[in-house]
């Protein structure tokens, strides 16, 4: 039996993909954990960010700083488009509109009529070139048994730096007056309104902030892979929710811990299943192995909400939804 997958699975904890999930989840924490906005469309923000980054740098040949700027601007615009009609409505309407908007983005970029711009259903390759051109790390394999390539190591370093910066930003914001108002909106919108605060405006600011983090995470997400529309389906959002609830929805470092645990557990279970299947320990075929990780995530999501809604790091008293 080949147990090579074990160190690799633990290596997932620091991979660039995990960093992207952590960053997107920090955005979600700003929305859901701190402001109480039920955003089921974080995958849409990631898609907007990813497409803005790749299309501008690959199709328009924009230099890296402008591509990043485009990523941020597009995320802000998307947040406004989403927020204007829905932030005055109740939470469940927001959830339906955001999930629908994310699907609208995915289906629109996928349409064959836009193939020249977005690559249609096949997506686009090589969007990370301008980023990897800046890579100062010489070619080779790094981090011992992980065999990380120089490109992955560079993406991971930049990605995790971005995640830490985002943590710092959100931490500073949440202990500022702005953060107290936003948390007040989460607890009792009407009370905050009675204090003369413009609730709508604060909600919009939170939506934009979390959305920009989601958009940047989308750009980070495509660094180690090609841009494909179906990566941004609704299940991506639900993975982010699982990560958030795992780490703690109202904590700064919860998303980091949650993303690391999430991917290590999934990779370990994938590896164990592969070993079990190839050695005929389990009576299932290798195609039946694929769905199992999603079943694990779904069950984990249910159990977390029911039995530990505050997650690993959270405090019971600060659970936005009391169980």
Q: Does 321 bind other proteins (CB under 8 A)?
A: yes
CB of 177 to other proteins, least distance (A): 26
Q: Does 318 bind other proteins (CB under 8 A)?
A: no
Query: Toward other proteins, which CB reaches closer, 146 or 276?
Result: 276
Q: Does 113 bind other proteins (CB under 8 A)?
A: yes
- 288: helix, strand or coil: coil
The beta strand positions in the chain, using DSSP E, are: 141-142, 148-149
- Residue 6 burial (CB < 10 Å; 0-12/13-18/19+)? middle
Residue 141 C-alpha from the chain's centroid: 27
Q: Does 63 bind other proteins (CB under 8 A)?
A: no
Q: Does 21 bind other proteins (CB under 8 A)?
A: no
Q: Does 191 bind other proteins (CB under 8 A)?
A: no
Q: Which helix (H) or strand (E) holds 149?
A: strand 148-149
Q: Kindly report the number of other CB atoms within 10 A of residue 127's CB atom.
A: 25
Q: Does 4 bind other proteins (CB under 8 A)?
A: no
- 243 neighbors 21 (Cβ within 8 angstroms): yes
Q: Does 282 bind other proteins (CB under 8 A)?
A: no
Q: Does 96 bind other proteins (CB under 8 A)?
A: yes
- 292: helix, strand or coil: helix
Task: Provide CB contacts within 8 A for 65, sequence distance 6+.
Answer: none
CB of 321 to other proteins, least distance (A): 4
Among 65, 139, 287, 317, binds other proteins (CB under 8 A): 287
Among 4, 73, 121, 165, binds other proteins (CB under 8 A): 121
Among 93, 171, 178, 253, binds other proteins (CB under 8 A): 93
Q: Which helix (H) or strand (E) holds 24?
A: helix 16-28
Query: Toward other proteins, which CB reaches closer, 189 or 253?
Result: 189
| 8-state DSSP, 308 | -
Which residue bears the tokens 């560079």?
154
Q: Does 73 bind other proteins (CB under 8 A)?
A: no
Helices and strands (H, E) in the chain, number of each type: 14, 2
Stretch that binds other proteins, among 115-123, 128-136, 194-202, 250-258 (CB under 8 A): 115-123
Which residue bears the tokens 């299943």?
273
- 194: helix, strand or coil: helix
CB of 176 to other proteins, least distance (A): 26
Residues in contact with other proteins by CB under 8 A are 38, 59-61, 85-86, 89-93, 95-97, 99-101, 103-104, 107-108, 110-117, 119-122, 124, 234-235, 238, 241-242, 245, 284, 287-288, 290-292, 294-295, 297-303, 305-306, 309, 320-323
């Amino acid at each position: 039996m080949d147990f090579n997958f074990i160190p690799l699975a633990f290596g997932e904890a620091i991979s660039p993909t995990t960093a992207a999930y952590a960053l997107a989840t920090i955005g979600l924490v700003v929305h859901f954990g701190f402001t109480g906005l039920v955003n089921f469309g974080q995958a849409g923000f990631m898609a907007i960010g990813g497409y803005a980054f790749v299309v501008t740098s690959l199709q328009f040949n924009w230099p890296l700083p402008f591509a990043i700027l485009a990523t941020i601007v597009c995320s802000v615009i998307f947040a406004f488009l989403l927020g204007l009609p829905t932030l005055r409505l109740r939470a469940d309407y927001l959830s339906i509109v955001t999930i629908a908007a994310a699907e609208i983005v995915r289906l629109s970029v996928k349409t064959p009529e836009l193939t020249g711009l977005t690559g249609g259903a096949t997506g686009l390759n090589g969007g990370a070139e301008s980023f990897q051109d800046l890579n100062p790390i010489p070619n080779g394999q790094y981090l011992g048994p992980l065999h990380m390539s120089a490109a992955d190591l560079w993406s991971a370093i930049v990605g995790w730096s971005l995640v830490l910066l985002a943590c710092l930003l959100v931490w500073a914001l949440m202990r500022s007056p702005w953060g107290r108002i936003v948390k007040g909106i989460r607890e009792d919108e009407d009370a905050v309104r009675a204090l003369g605060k413009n609730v709508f405006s604060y909600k919009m600011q939170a939506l934009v902030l979390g959305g920009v983090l989601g958009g940047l995470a989308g750009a980070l997400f495509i660094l180690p892979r090609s841009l494909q529309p179906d990566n941004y389906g609704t299940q991506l959002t639900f993975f982010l929710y699982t990560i958030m609830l795992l780490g703690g929805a109202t904590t700064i470092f919860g998303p980091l811990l949650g993303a690391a645990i999430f991917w290590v557990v999934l990779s370990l279970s994938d590896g164990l299943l592969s070993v079990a299947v190839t050695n005929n320990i389990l009576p299932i075929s290798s195609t039946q192995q694929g769905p199992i990780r999603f079943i694990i995530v779904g069950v984990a999501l249910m159990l977390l909400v029911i039995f530990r809604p505050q997650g690993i790091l959270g405090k019971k008293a600060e659970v936005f939804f009391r169980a």
